[in-house]
Structure 1
Amino acid sequence: MQEEACHTHVRKSHHSDTVKKNLTTRLNRIEGQIRGIKGLIDKDTYCDDVITQIAATQSALNSVAKILLEGHLKTCIVDRIQEGDTEAVDEVLVTIQKLMKK
Structure 2
Amino acid sequence: MTDEHNHEHQYRKDIINRLARVEGHLRSVKEMAISGRQCPDILLQIAAVQKALDGAAKLLLKDHLENCVVDAVHHGNEKNIIEELNAAIDSYIR
**TM-score of the alignment, normalized to the shorter chain, above 0.5:** yes
Q: Which TM-score band applies after superposition, normalised by the shorter structure?
A: 0.7 to 0.9
Q: CA deviation at 1:14?
A: 2.5
Q: Which runs of 5+ in 1 are unaligned?
A: 1-8
Cα distance in 1 for partners of 2:3, 2:82 equals 19
TM-score in terms of structure 1 length: 0.74
Q: Percent identity?
A: 33
TM-score in terms of structure 2 length: 0.79
Aligned residues: 92
What SS class does the counterpart of residue 93 from structure 1 fall into?
Answer: helix
CA deviation profile, 1:45-76 (whole Å, cap 9, x unmatched): 12222111111101101111111111111111
Cα distance in 2 for partners of 1:75, 1:67 equals 12
Say whether 1:33 aligns with 2:25.
yes
Q: Which has a greater percent of helix?
A: 2
Moved more, 23-32 or 71-80: 23-32
Q: Which residue of 2 aligns with 1:6?
A: none
Query: Measured at CA, do residues 21 and 98 of structure 1 come closer, stay the same or move farther in structure 2, by a change above 3 Å?
Result: same
| Two-structure CA RMSD over aligned residues (Å) | 2.2
